[in-house]
Amino acid sequence: MASASALEGKSLVLPDPLPLDSGQRLENVRLAFETYGEPAADKRNAILIFHALSGDQHVASVHPITGKPGWWDRMVGPGKPIDTSRYYVICANVIGGCMGSTGPASEGPDGKPWAMRFPVITIRDMVRSQIALLDALGIEKLHAVVGGSMGGMLALSFASNFPGRTERVLAIATTARHSAQNIAFHEVGRQAVMADPNWQGGDYYGHGKGPEKGLAVARMAAHITYLSEAGLTDKFGRRLQDREAKSFGFDADFQIESYLRHQGIAFTDRFDANAYLYITRAMDYFDLAEEHGGRLAAAFARSTARFCLVSFDTDWLYPTAESKHVVHALNAVAAPVSFVELSAPYGHDSFLLECRPLDRVIKGFLG
């Protein structure tokens, strides 16, 4: 997991305790964030990007641990669809995360890591903390909020709970509620972490090895849900990994096995297992309609923003029907909304990969 020395970047401690949906209050909340571009004099050119489950604030800057380019480097930068020569782009690590914002690995009130004593947080709590960040930065109204996957959930929650704070809402490959299937996959991941003896009830910080094996398995299972069957077949098929024939054993004979094992192990270098538990829980708890008496349309009744939703035809994690469900609710309150289902071969992860039509939609919508 991330060592403190690697986490050099902007951060601030929120001046007030953060009220949580659980009823608890979180004191001394630190938010780590990155900014790109320059704020205009009136600060009306700010775009807040929300990252996905395994993402972080390094949208378009080199990741301090992996040394890889930012996760949306192709989308964010000077002259790119989210043009940092025009817009002031902000992205913060969510609370509950492990890249510098307050989470289960942070020091609790007694000076020891929170671990599982960290309060269960929600998507709305994450949004609330970032509103406090905007307040601290002196930004009253954003040009846009933008997010894919979990980031899209934050964008929708932001629009619903703080309707006056943004002019545009761009939610990509996302949903207004986690389905039973979504929760099921997350539960497999959490159980993999918690079944690892090194998890130690979550108190593994400073106590030898952490649950890297469990976290790697969780990541492997989740990774499958981010890709399409056709994409997997195209990329790996039944091809064997560095060998001519099957080994009649349980090594990674197939390329797909080798790939998933690599993805799993690499993930543990940069992600805290407890953070994975907390963030997946927040996603599972997400149901925007439930917050508004079961009517999704009511969630957007006070909104004055323009919306754009994008889905991908091969995304079976948050399929097109989920986006249309949101569009339906927005139509019911006559909110200005655009929606398009783009064709891309890579499944849910399409929003992170090369997809020219997505570039054009984002650029066009942001204006």
Q: Is 315 assigned a catalytic role?
A: yes
In the bound state with other proteins, the residue whose beta carbon lies nearer, of 239 and 328, is 328
In the bound state with other proteins, the residue whose beta carbon lies nearer, of 69 and 357, is 357
In the bound state with other proteins, the residue whose beta carbon lies nearer, of 105 and 335, is 335
In the bound state with other proteins, the residue whose beta carbon lies nearer, of 118 and 312, is 312
Least distance (Å) from other proteins to the CB of residue 320? 9
Q: In the chain, what is the greatest distance between 2 CA atoms, to the nearest angstrom?
A: 67
Q: Which of 101, 149, 303, 311 is catalytic?
A: 149
Rounding to the nearest 10 degrees, give the CA dihedral for residues 113, 117, 122, 125: -60
Residue 27, SS3 per DSSP: coil
- Our separate counts of H helices and E strands in the chain read 10, 12
Least distance (Å) from other proteins to the CB of residue 305? 11
Q: Which of 143, 178, 186, 348 is catalytic?
A: 348
CA distance 142 to 354: 27
Least distance (Å) from other proteins to the CB of residue 13? 39
Least distance (Å) from other proteins to the CB of residue 336? 4
Q: How far is CA 218 from CA 186, 212, 214, 262, in A?
A: 8, 10, 6, 13
- Give the pairing of strands 168-172 and 306-312: parallel
Least distance (Å) from other proteins to the CB of residue 214? 41
Single-letter residue type at 367: G
In the bound state with other proteins, the residue whose beta carbon lies nearer, of 276 and 339, is 339
Q: Which of 56, 253, 272, 315 is catalytic?
A: 315
Query: Which residues in this chain contact other proteins in the complex, by CB under 8 A?
Result: 306, 308, 324, 327-328, 331-332, 334, 336-343, 357, 360-361, 363-365, 367
State the Cα angle at 105 between 265 and 69, rounded to 5°: 50
CA distance 144 to 158: 11
Active-site residue set: 149, 315, 348
